[in-house]
């Protein structure tokens, strides 16, 4: 396989066996682990950014079990020691809040997040009640993040550096447009894996990057992209990457050059008379059109830069400084 570009190579350095946050964990800084192993294929690295989320919820008195995907993002901070960063788990708003078919949050009794261990097995970490998710102030944005408190010696996963997010500036600079190859990795709930989680990897193309707002999976109009890639039950919250490698215009870039385009949030099913109905993969029905909705990475960057998230980082930096006195 051709060598990966330097853009995603930083992901290799962020190889962390990791745990998950307690329900009200602070934004604890993490230290990158060093490894002498040769880098894995880039697509396998993408699979290692993913976790499986299972929510036990109540619709009235009826117990409901919902499935979704989460993935891990790291945020660099110059105030931290060298090779340290803040870590977060990311998913959709409708996953985190366990929405019903009418976009109403259900009561969350527990959350289970399953992660692979370095010893070749996996572990399911549970929270009584819901995690303390931080949601975007814009109700149209189908995202949620929670800070992570991790054990760097146990779990086998990768963090996506915030430097590889395809923000609006990156999209303009790199001329990211329709037709580029896109891959995402998520929870294939039909084959969850007995010993370890087995994220599925799916490939397609960027199908539309509309200038106008569309009705999103929140039921409100907002900024989204569309991809020709099949998403179904359990894929909500999957990270979607666009590949900038290969021949583009008159330039040829050797190897893969993946950027995080956004987060899978739903897709269109084919109704009667070829009508298309927008649904979340949590509630998808037969007749999938193969068109998925992607929440832009710019929205994720905005959430990671939100004052509520920054305040948690500031508080942790202040605590660390105080502990050194």
From first to last of its 325 residues, what are the pLDDT tens digits of the chain? Answer: 233 222 222 233 233 322 223 333 456 665 655 555 667 788 889 999 999 999 999 999 999 999 999 999 999 999 998 888 999 999 999 999 999 988 999 999 999 999 999 999 999 888 999 999 999 999 999 999 999 866 657 889 899 999 999 999 999 999 999 999 999 999 987 888 889 999 999 999 999 999 999 999 999 999 999 999 988 888 999 999 999 987 666 666 666 789 999 999 998 876 554 455 666 654 445 566 789 999 999 999 999 999 999 999 999 999 988 888 7
| Contacts of residue 83, Cβ cutoff 8 Å, sequence gap at least 6 | 13, 31, 32
Q: Which residues contact 31 (CB under 8 A, 6 or more apart)?
A: 81, 83, 84, 152
Q: What is the pLDDT of residue 82?
A: 85
Q: What is the CA radius of gyration of the chain?
A: 19
State the pLDDT at residue 31: 60
Confidence (pLDDT) at 46: 93
Report how far residue 142's alpha carbon sits from residue 300's, in angstroms, rounded to the nearest whole number.
10
**Selection from 200, 201, 204, 202 nearest residue 188 by Cα:** 200
Q: Does domain 6-323 correspond to CATH entry 2.40.10.120?
A: yes
Q: Which residue reads 């502990």 in tokens?
A: 323
CA distance 179 to 170: 17
- The CA-atom distances, in angstroms, between 31 and each of 15, 80, 154 are 10, 9, 13
Distance from C-alpha of 300 to C-alpha of 138, rounded to nearest angstrom: 12
């Amino acid at each position: 396989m051709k060598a990966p570009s330097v853009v995603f190579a930083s992901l290799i350095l962020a190889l962390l066996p990791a745990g998950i946050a307690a329900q009200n964990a602070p934004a604890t800084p993490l230290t990158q682990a060093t490894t002498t192993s040769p880098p894995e294929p880039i697509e396998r690295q993408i699979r290692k950014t993913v976790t499986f989320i299972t929510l036990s919820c109540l619709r009235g008195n009826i117990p409901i079990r919902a499935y979704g995907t989460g993935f891990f993002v790291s945020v660099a901070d110059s105030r931290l020691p060298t090779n340290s960063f803040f870590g977060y788990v990311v998913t959709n708003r409708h996953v985190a809040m366990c929405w019903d078919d009418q976009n109403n949050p259900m009561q969350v009794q527990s959350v289970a997040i399953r992660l692979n261990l370095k010893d070749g097995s996996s572990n399911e970490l549970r929270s009584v009640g819901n995690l303390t998710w931080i949601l975007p102030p814009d109700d149209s944005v189908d995202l949620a993040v929670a800070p992570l408190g991790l054990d760097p010696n146990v779990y086998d996963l990768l963090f996506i550096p915030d430097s590889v997010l395809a923000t609006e500036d990156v999209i303009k600079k790199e001329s990211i447009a329709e037709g580029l190859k896109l891959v995402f990795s998520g929870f294939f709930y039909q084959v969850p894996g007995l010993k370890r989680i087995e994220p599925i990897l799916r490939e397609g193309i960027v199908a539309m990057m509309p200038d106008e707002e569309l009705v999103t999976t929140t039921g409100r109009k907002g900024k989204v992209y569309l991809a020709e890639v099949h998403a179904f039950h359990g894929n909500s919250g999957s990270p979607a990457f666009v590949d900038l490698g290969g021949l583009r215009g008159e330039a040829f870039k050797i190897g893969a050059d993946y950027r995080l385009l956004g987060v899978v949030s739903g897709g269109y099913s084919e109704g009667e008379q070829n009508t298309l109905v927008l649904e979340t993969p949590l509630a998808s029905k037969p007749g999938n059109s193969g068109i998925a909705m992607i929440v832009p990475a710019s929205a994720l960057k905005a959430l990671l830069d939100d004052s509520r998230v920054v305040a948690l980082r500031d508080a942790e930096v202040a605590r660390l400084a105080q502990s050194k006195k």
